[in-house]
Protein backbone atom coordinates (compact mmCIF):
# COMPACT_ATOMS: atom_id res chain seq x y z
CA UNK A 1 0.00 0.00 0.00
CA UNK A 2 1.45 3.35 -0.92
CA UNK A 3 2.15 6.05 1.65
CA UNK A 4 -0.55 8.47 0.52
CA UNK A 5 -3.23 5.79 0.68
CA UNK A 6 -2.03 4.66 4.10
CA UNK A 7 -2.12 8.27 5.32
CA UNK A 8 -5.66 8.71 3.97
CA UNK A 9 -6.95 5.54 5.65
CA UNK A 10 -5.28 6.53 8.91
CA UNK A 11 -6.92 9.96 8.71
CA UNK A 12 -10.25 8.36 7.81
CA UNK A 13 -10.16 6.09 10.86
CA UNK A 14 -9.08 8.89 13.21
CA UNK A 15 -11.71 11.30 11.89
CA UNK A 16 -14.41 8.64 11.97
CA UNK A 17 -13.51 7.68 15.53
CA UNK A 18 -13.59 11.32 16.66
CA UNK A 19 -16.95 12.00 14.99
CA UNK A 20 -18.43 8.74 16.27
CA UNK A 21 -17.43 9.46 19.86
CA UNK A 22 -18.25 13.19 19.92
CA UNK A 23 -20.81 13.68 17.17
CA UNK A 24 -23.85 11.78 18.37
CA UNK A 25 -26.10 10.13 15.79
CA UNK A 26 -25.00 12.49 13.02
CA UNK A 27 -21.31 11.78 13.68
CA UNK A 28 -21.86 8.04 13.77
CA UNK A 29 -23.92 8.12 10.56
CA UNK A 30 -21.41 10.35 8.77
CA UNK A 31 -18.52 8.14 9.85
CA UNK A 32 -20.33 5.07 8.58
CA UNK A 33 -21.08 6.75 5.26
CA UNK A 34 -17.44 7.69 4.71
CA UNK A 35 -16.06 4.30 5.77
CA UNK A 36 -18.51 2.39 3.56
CA UNK A 37 -17.83 4.77 0.65
CA UNK A 38 -14.06 4.33 1.04
CA UNK A 39 -14.27 0.53 1.13
CA UNK A 40 -16.68 0.55 -1.82
CA UNK A 41 -14.34 2.85 -3.74
CA UNK A 42 -11.53 0.32 -3.43
CA UNK A 43 -13.77 -2.41 -4.83
CA UNK A 44 -15.09 -0.17 -7.63
CA UNK A 45 -11.60 1.01 -8.57
CA UNK A 46 -10.50 -2.59 -9.07
CA UNK A 47 -13.27 -3.04 -11.63
CA UNK A 48 -11.80 -0.26 -13.80
CA UNK A 49 -8.29 0.60 -12.57
CA UNK A 50 -7.20 2.65 -15.60
CA UNK A 51 -8.83 6.04 -14.75
CA UNK A 52 -9.18 6.55 -18.51
CA UNK A 53 -12.75 7.82 -18.81
CA UNK A 54 -15.79 7.37 -16.65
CA UNK A 55 -15.75 4.51 -14.17
CA UNK A 56 -19.37 3.51 -13.67
CA UNK A 57 -18.49 1.68 -10.45
CA UNK A 58 -16.87 4.77 -8.92
CA UNK A 59 -19.72 6.91 -10.20
CA UNK A 60 -22.22 4.60 -8.48
CA UNK A 61 -20.26 4.75 -5.20
CA UNK A 62 -20.03 8.54 -5.28
CA UNK A 63 -23.69 8.90 -6.25
CA UNK A 64 -24.66 6.58 -3.39
CA UNK A 65 -22.53 8.62 -1.00
CA UNK A 66 -24.20 11.78 -2.31
CA UNK A 67 -27.63 10.31 -1.63
CA UNK A 68 -26.62 9.17 1.85
CA UNK A 69 -25.23 12.62 2.67
CA UNK A 70 -28.38 14.27 1.34
CA UNK A 71 -30.51 12.11 3.64
CA UNK A 72 -28.15 12.82 6.56
CA UNK A 73 -28.30 16.57 5.91
CA UNK A 74 -32.09 16.50 5.75
CA UNK A 75 -32.47 14.39 8.90
CA UNK A 76 -29.85 16.16 11.02
CA UNK A 77 -29.86 19.46 12.87
CA UNK A 78 -26.11 19.85 12.27
CA UNK A 79 -24.55 22.02 9.58
CA UNK A 80 -21.49 19.98 8.64
CA UNK A 81 -23.44 17.42 6.57
CA UNK A 82 -24.52 20.27 4.27
CA UNK A 83 -20.90 21.21 3.65
CA UNK A 84 -19.93 17.58 3.09
CA UNK A 85 -22.85 17.29 0.67
CA UNK A 86 -21.52 20.28 -1.26
CA UNK A 87 -18.10 18.67 -1.64
CA UNK A 88 -19.70 15.41 -2.73
CA UNK A 89 -21.75 17.25 -5.35
CA UNK A 90 -18.47 18.44 -6.88
CA UNK A 91 -17.16 14.86 -6.95
CA UNK A 92 -20.30 13.62 -8.71
CA UNK A 93 -20.15 16.57 -11.12
CA UNK A 94 -16.64 15.43 -12.03
CA UNK A 95 -18.05 12.05 -13.03
CA UNK A 96 -20.76 13.74 -15.08
CA UNK A 97 -18.13 15.85 -16.83
CA UNK A 98 -16.25 12.73 -17.87
CA UNK A 99 -19.40 11.42 -19.52
CA UNK A 100 -19.35 14.46 -21.81
CA UNK A 101 -15.55 14.67 -22.13
CA UNK A 102 -14.54 11.01 -22.33
CA UNK A 103 -10.91 11.68 -23.30
CA UNK A 104 -10.08 13.30 -19.94
CA UNK A 105 -6.49 12.92 -18.76
CA UNK A 106 -6.46 9.97 -16.31
CA UNK A 107 -4.21 11.68 -13.74
CA UNK A 108 -6.43 14.77 -13.75
CA UNK A 109 -9.57 12.66 -13.31
CA UNK A 110 -8.04 10.76 -10.42
CA UNK A 111 -6.81 13.96 -8.77
CA UNK A 112 -10.19 15.69 -9.12
CA UNK A 113 -12.03 12.76 -7.55
CA UNK A 114 -9.51 12.04 -4.82
CA UNK A 115 -9.07 15.64 -3.74
CA UNK A 116 -12.52 16.04 -2.17
CA UNK A 117 -12.08 13.14 0.26
CA UNK A 118 -9.84 15.22 2.54
CA UNK A 119 -12.05 18.34 2.87
CA UNK A 120 -15.06 16.12 3.58
CA UNK A 121 -13.24 14.51 6.52
CA UNK A 122 -12.04 17.91 7.73
CA UNK A 123 -15.59 19.30 7.61
CA UNK A 124 -16.89 16.33 9.62
CA UNK A 125 -14.26 16.79 12.34
CA UNK A 126 -14.44 20.60 12.44
CA UNK A 127 -18.25 20.54 12.46
CA UNK A 128 -18.37 17.91 15.17
CA UNK A 129 -15.91 19.92 17.25
CA UNK A 130 -17.94 23.13 16.86
CA UNK A 131 -21.17 21.29 17.70
CA UNK A 132 -19.56 19.79 20.79
CA UNK A 133 -18.29 23.20 21.94
CA UNK A 134 -21.78 24.63 21.49
CA UNK A 135 -23.35 21.80 23.51
CA UNK A 136 -20.79 22.21 26.32
CA UNK A 137 -21.54 25.95 26.40
CA UNK A 138 -25.26 25.25 26.68
CA UNK A 139 -24.68 22.81 29.53
CA UNK A 140 -22.56 25.34 31.41
CA UNK A 141 -25.15 28.10 30.95
CA UNK A 142 -27.97 25.87 32.12
CA UNK A 143 -26.06 25.00 35.31
CA UNK A 144 -25.30 28.65 36.12
**The pLDDT of residue 115:** 78
Judge whether residue 51 has pLDDT over 70: no
Higher-scoring residue by pLDDT: 1, 72? 72
- Give the pLDDT confidence of 74-132 residue by residue, as tens digits: 999 999 999 999 999 998 988 888 878 777 666 666 666 677 888 999 999 999 999 88
Q: How far is CA 25 from CA 17, 38, 103, in A?
A: 13, 20, 42
**Mean pLDDT estimate for the chain:** 87
pLDDT band per the 50, 70, 90 thresholds, residue 52: low
Q: CA torsion 88→90→96→102, rounded to 10°?
A: -120
Contact predicate 134/24, CB 8 Å? no
54 within 8 A of 98, measured Cβ to Cβ: yes
Q: Is 8 exposed, middle or buried (0-12, 13-18, 19+ CB in 10 A)?
A: middle
Amino acid sequence: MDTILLAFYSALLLCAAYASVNGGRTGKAGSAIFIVASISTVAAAQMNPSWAGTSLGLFAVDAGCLLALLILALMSNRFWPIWALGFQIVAVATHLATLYIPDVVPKSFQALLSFWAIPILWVMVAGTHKDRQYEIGLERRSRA
